[in-house]
Amino acid sequence: MIRVLVVDDSAVVRKMFVDALASEPDIEVVGTAPDPYVARDKIVKLEPDVITLDIEMPRMDGLTFLRKLMRHKPLPVIIVSSLTPKGSTTALEALEYGALEVLSKPGSAYSLGEMSQQLADKIRAAAKAGVKKTKVAPSKVPIRKISALSETTNKIIAIGASTGGTVALKEVLMGFPPNAPGTVIVQHMPANFTTAFADRLNSLCQIKVKEASDGDSVVPGQALIAPGNFHLLLRRSGARYYVNVKTGPMVHHQRPAVDILFESVAKVAGRNAVGIILTGMGADGAKGMLSMKGAGAGTVAQNEETCVVFGMPNEAIKLGGVDKVVPLQKITETALRMV
């Protein structure tokens, strides 16, 4: 049984989370707290396995509390935030300080049914994650220098990630040279948070990183990230690669889904592509990566030791869709050599 503590200053949100999880046989809400001071006492008393944490609260904000928690008593934390630009940016900062997942405030992005499923899935993913004491993350990480590639217009890199993926993607993309192949990315993340995430990566990387818009060209030196709540597909017109951003049914309880992206890359790019699957819970991306390999693409998976959750990479490996399994620090080098 996964024991959960809900920390939010809104009584409505606290009740909604309790009600949403009541029908989950493997999850129990052992307590709620309206602010970090109450939460601190209940953590000691109740020993929860996972915490859901609001950002804006009285007496102490969630980000300050998270930093203290991860330094002294690290626990798996899911951030609950509004979809305002400020809320999105702060939530992403929380991920760098050690939070594992981001969830939209109830009613702001999902129906109640979708929110319940998202919440339960994120709690299960967080409970499986290994969390260690952390130091305060630096505001900037030095860019690693790697050998440049010959510029090309017909190579594609496709990346899929979920729990722990925001940190992993930063590690991978910061190693890309300015003329890296056009890159398309699905990171499981709620609507609107991907805008702030792309902007953050763009400020750190040598390549341009942006949230994808329908019809955007996939070109060297640029990475396109699927908008939250929309699927991303690769298309081709003559020599030009471009993306479709579209709605549709959830796949593996996800929208965007890695499988949707990878299947389109297999069909459109074939042997001209390299697929990367990073840390995350579940099986999203496994079948798509197998399709990519079958179409002649190179495929790489993050190894278990460096994953926050070794779910998605493991499923892809078990299915036979992975050429190479390497530590996170070797993903960029390996993928670029395959290209």
Strand partners, 187: 161
Does 123 have pLDDT greater than 90?
yes
The question of whether 188 is a catalytic residue gets the answer yes
Tokens matching residue 28: 């129990």
Active-site position among 82, 104, 116, 162? 162
Instruction: Look up tokens 């479709």; give the residue.
Output: 244
What pLDDT was estimated at residue 6? 97
Q: What angle do CA 224, 229, 232 make, to 5 degrees?
A: 35
Q: How far apart, in whole angstroms, are the C-alpha atoms of residue 228 and residue 186?
A: 9
Q: What distance in Å separates the CA atoms of residue 229 and residue 246, rounded to the nearest whole number?
A: 9
For residue 152, pLDDT beyond 50: no
Please indicate, yes or no, whether residues 12 and 117 belong to a single structural domain of this protein: yes
Please check whether residues 283 and 206 belong to one and the same domain: yes
Same domain flag for 118 and 163: no
Q: Are residues 193 and 246 in the same domain?
A: yes
Do residue 322 and residue 203 come from a single domain?
yes
Query: Does the pLDDT of residue 160 top 60, yes or no?
Result: yes
pLDDT given for residue 104 in this prediction: 84
Average the pLDDT over 306-313 and give the result. Answer: 96
Q: Which residues of 222-255 are buried (b: 16+ CB within 10 A; e: fewer)?
A: bbbbbbbbbbbbbebeeeebbbebeeeeebbebb
Same-domain check for residues 165 and 46? no
Q: Is residue 122 part of a domain?
A: yes
Q: What is the mean pLDDT of the chain?
A: 90
Catalytic residue among 49, 216, 259, 284: 284
Q: Give the pLDDT confidence of 65-102 residue by residue, as tens digits.
A: 999 999 999 999 999 887 677 778 888 899 999 999 99
Q: Could you give the number of structural domains in the chain?
A: 2
Say yes or no: 65 and 210 in one domain. Answer: no
Query: Residue 290: which CATH number?
Result: 3.40.50.180
Active-site residue (options: 188, 252, 264, 291): 188
Tell me: do 47 and 162 sit in the same domain: no
Question: Which residue did the predictor score with more confidence, 63 or 141?
Answer: 63
171 with 50, same domain: the answer is no
Structural domain containing residue 53:
2-128
The answer as to whether 244 is a domain residue is: yes
pLDDT of residue 133: 54
Residue 115 has pLDDT above 80, yes or no: no
**Confidence grade of residue 147 (pLDDT, cut at 50, 70, 90):** very low
116 is catalytic: no
| Residue 9 sits in the same domain as residue 70 | yes
Q: Are residues 181 and 79 in the same domain?
A: no
Identify the DSSP state of 127: H
**Does 234 share its domain with 275?**
yes
* 284 a catalytic residue: yes
Q: In the structure, what pLDDT confidence band is assigned to residue 242 with cuts at 50, 70 and 90?
A: very high
Q: Does some domain include residue 257?
A: yes
In a domain? residue 22 = yes
Percent pLDDT > 70 in the chain is: 90
